[in-house]
Structure 1
Amino acid sequence: MTGLETAAARVLLGNWRGSYTVPASGLYPHQWSWDSAFIAIGLRHLSPRRAQLEMDTILSAQWADGRLPQIVFHSGRDDGYSPGATFWHSETIPGSPAVPTAGLIQAPNHALAVLMVHQADPAESEHRRFLERAYPRLVRWHDYLRTRRGGETGLARIVHPWESGMDNSPYWDAALASISETYDEDIPRPDLLHADAGHRPSNTEYGKYLYLAARYRDHDCDDADAGYPFQFEDPGFNALWARSELALSAIAELIGEDAERHLHECDRITAALESLWSPELGAYVARDVLTGERQPYRTVAGLVPLLLPELLHTSELIAELRGPHFRLGEVAMVPSHDLTAPTFDPDRYWRGPSWFNTAWLVAEALYERGHDDEARVLSRDMDEAALEHDFPEYLDPYSAEPRGTTRFSWTAALALDLGKRINAPSSPHRTPMSAVDSITTP
């Protein structure tokens, strides 16, 4: 094993909880939905079976309506995280699973992860009927997005900033400012015990987040609250939905199901994304469903559609990546927000810092489109920063200094994945499980 593989394996083993991986011990002590999918993509190189179990576990927490919850509280306790299981009390909400969960969702990258995990060891996957078990759950998940979250444009809407995965993106500023209500209880911030307050969303933002979450919870998370004040179409969320439909088509073909329906859905969502294209900004943007207004910001979410093969504006997005707003190859990885914008902040969460999961998405898109050199530069940036700073949550794009917490699971998993596939494509595709088990947690 290389130095990166050994160090990444230590992080993933240290954060493993028997059937799933926590994003980071301390700050994030539960199972997060899109985190688990990203983690499985890297974990498959160490143990395909463990990666399968990671996905089995998140899929097993599916609600009766098909949603995959944002967080699964396997312990049944808050464990120092807020809002935790006692806030959501999902056991009182009809259609929730036996295990306590949040009621919100996250971006649908799960089918993509399931396909990649299968490809790591097809024989093991077929022996355990991994795809046959995952496929119907993934179909129900995507049906939930189409029927319960779909709208006139054909895109899925999010009902909370957390659902985008990019909590304090400038996309949400105007909508949150227009909400006069805030959470009417104390705003707990256990996250500040593990990360600098200057790197996290503010108390004002948390007040709005908790107000929205409590209102959604108190309506039994039924997506039918007519006056609900936050509804957005997010380009990153919908691009991952389309890309996962493409993955579902490959899964369906492998197990003898109808692949064409998923290809059609991928094409349909890709076409619908054009309603979010901003010619002025040269990027896709979020749209406030309630006002109809497209948000005037370039963010990394607007670059994620590069993952879609039939996208109309590929050349413009690559030009944006290389230009002054994101400066690909000149700054650390890919900034989460436009470097030239007055709302840019190099330290604060999704208002500027560079994240490893979005860097992975961009690198994957570049590599698939034949921009191998740029993909490898991005991958090497990830590897070097991960090793130097003990797998940080995110980075200042200018100084490359770590921000947030460390020993972050998707940082380890995704740096490992690109390191093995893009920087060293001739390397063996997997490492035996015995190699992982021989590593002790520091």
Structure 2
Amino acid sequence: MTSLLDQPARTVAADLTLRRGAARVLLDNWVGTGTVPSRTLYPHQWSWDSAFIAIGLRHLSARRAQHELESLLSAQWADGRVPHIVFNSSVPNGAYFPSPDFWQSSTAGAGAGAPTTLETSGIVQPPVHALAAWLVHRADPDESRRRSFLPRLYPRLAAWHRYLTKRRDLGGGGLAAIVHPWEPGMDNSPCWDAPLARITPAGPGSFRRADLDHGHPADRPTDLDYGRYVQLAVDYRDAGYDDRTARHPFALEDPCVNALLIASERALAEIAAYVGEEATAHEERADQLTETLVTRLWDDEAGMFLARDLVSDTLVRERSVAGFVPLLAPSLPEELVERLVSTLDGPGFQTDSTDLVPSYDLTGPAFDPTRYWRGPAWFNTAWLVERGLRTHGHRARADRIRASILKTAGASQFAEYVDPTSGEARGARSFSWTAALTLDLLSTEATCATRDKDPIR
């Protein structure tokens, strides 16, 4: 395949059309305090979605990008967790499941310090937020300073990271653990199949799947898997969302979650220095997390990072896009970087249709090109891999992913994800993070060549 430099240049008119289309998606999905991922399938505010959305919004309005993150973090629990959903009270319960009456956060989560004035879920998503906050600040430092954006966010972001590194260090090895397949954001990945097999699913009559009102059953998780998701959430809720006392039959260390924690710790060090707080601890934690990530999650045979099942204390032998996200860590050993690039260019993750990275190994036994996170290529993970490659100087490879994102986003009507074998749009259209990250790549293209060894630029 050719480098972006060898491809026909995109026209100014085409870029302007793409920029306007991406901006329109974000404007249409804004609901006054934040942005919904999709007006149909996801009618509330999602945690890591909002971080990606803010990264794109900063190119339209730094103030609105600030509001996006402030709105999300206003729902933070007293124990530091940032919930994966903040519910819009004007949306009927039946429009999305699990709905607020399922999570019961303000009552079941009272012991963990859940807010009493709004409803949230009780689980979390990957920590992209400090990275997003630093990028938003840099987009308009004067506006950020005027509104005291970073001084107000820093204590919340620091508490969020403490929650992950303390309460969620379930394996005792120093990495943050996930306790539900919805937490890593890659809900239906084959990486969770074996750990989920231990879970007795909730009865089919105990819940109604609203997602099937907007998505084809062949693209969505099976009823069996969904029943297991529900049961895990019920058990966590009934334990008061208390990580110290809850039983965790599903507990894993995920490479994407921890790689994003590393990138956000580095961003938090920049924020700390800016607001006059001690930055060294964040830098040291990022370095220590990187060392631990390599020790606990690298697998030489797979040629990439794998998830660790904490119940069996074994690596899950399934390869997914999550295993490439540690490229974001600038102190990753160079030999591992080269192995990751080699794996990325191998038969498991390389197709002729798109340079977006499949969410699961094309040669794996569970590969499905259209079913949620079991093969489809997503724009947010492609953006993360592009950023990671550029961090380590693999500019030509990063350029190919960038070009593919920009080509595919507009052609797919800013789809949620695409079939990696055909490039066909799948899932929701006018998806917010697809539009936001397209806007970010269009707006930062001129600076790409200088963003070497600095993933927080």
Normalised TM-score (structure 1): 0.93
- Whole-Å Cα distance in 1 between the matches of residues 446 and 427 of structure 2? 27
In the TM superposition, what whole-angstrom CA distance separates every residue of 1:339-369 from its partner, at most 9, and x where no partner exists? Answer: 1111111111111000000000011112222
Distance 1:186 1:9, change over 3 A: same
Candidates 105, 114, 129, aligned match of 1:96: 114
- Whole-Å Cα distance in 2 between the matches of residues 260 and 326 of structure 1? 37
- Whole-Å Cα distance in 1 between the matches of residues 172 and 104 of structure 2? 32
Amino acid at match of 1:59: L
The within-5 A match list for 1:356-375 is 356-375=379-398
- Whole-Å Cα distance in 2 between the matches of residues 329 and 115 of structure 1? 36
Partner of 2:256: 236
- 1:377 deviates by 2.0
- Whole-Å Cα distance in 1 between the matches of residues 407 and 354 of structure 2? 13
Could you say what secondary structure the match of 1:58 adopts? helix
Can you give the 5+ residue segments of structure 1 that lack an aligned partner in the other structure? Answer: 427-442
Could you say what secondary structure the match of 1:61 adopts? coil
Partner of 2:413: 390
Could you say what secondary structure the match of 1:162 adopts? coil
Partner of 2:49: 35
- Whole-Å Cα distance in 2 between the matches of residues 400 and 33 of structure 1? 27
- Whole-Å Cα distance in 1 between the matches of residues 52 and 119 of structure 2? 22
- Whole-Å Cα distance in 2 between the matches of residues 421 and 196 of structure 1? 35
- Whole-Å Cα distance in 1 between the matches of residues 384 and 362 of structure 2? 19
The within-5 A match list for 1:26-175 is 26-75=40-89, 77-78=92-93, 80-92=95-107, 93-94=109-110, 95-97=113-115, 98-150=117-169, 151-175=171-195
Q: 1:73–1:85: 8 Å Cα contact kept in structure 2? A: yes
CA RMSD of aligned residues (A): 1.6
- 1:415 deviates by 1.1
- 1:331 deviates by 3.2
Instruction: Name the count of aligned residue pairs.
Output: 426
- Whole-Å Cα distance in 1 between the matches of residues 325 and 118 of structure 2? 32
In the TM superposition, what whole-angstrom CA distance separates every residue of 1:255-306 from its partner, at most 9, and x where no partner exists? Answer: 1111101001101111110211111101100111011010011100011000
2:203 is aligned with 1:192: no
2:274 is aligned with 1:246: no
Can you give the 5+ residue segments of structure 2 that lack an aligned partner in the other structure? Answer: 1-14, 450-457
Could you say what secondary structure the match of 2:315 adopts? coil
- 1:385 deviates by 1.4
- Whole-Å Cα distance in 1 between the matches of residues 25 and 447 of structure 2? 21
- 1:424 deviates by 7.5
- 1:226 deviates by 5.0
- 1:370 deviates by 2.2
Candidates 4, 25, 28, aligned match of 1:14: 28
Could you say what secondary structure the match of 1:163 adopts? coil
Normalised TM-score (structure 2): 0.90
Q: 1:353–1:396: 8 Å Cα contact kept in structure 2? A: yes
- Whole-Å Cα distance in 2 between the matches of residues 228 and 289 of structure 1? 9
In the TM superposition, what whole-angstrom CA distance separates every residue of 1:229-272 from its partner, at most 9, and x where no partner exists? Answer: 11111110011111100000111111111110100110111111
- Whole-Å Cα distance in 1 between the matches of residues 246 and 40 of structure 2? 37
Partner of 1:436: none
- 1:330 deviates by 5.9
Partner of 1:297: 318
Amino acid at match of 1:263: E
- Whole-Å Cα distance in 1 between the matches of residues 396 and 339 of structure 2? 19
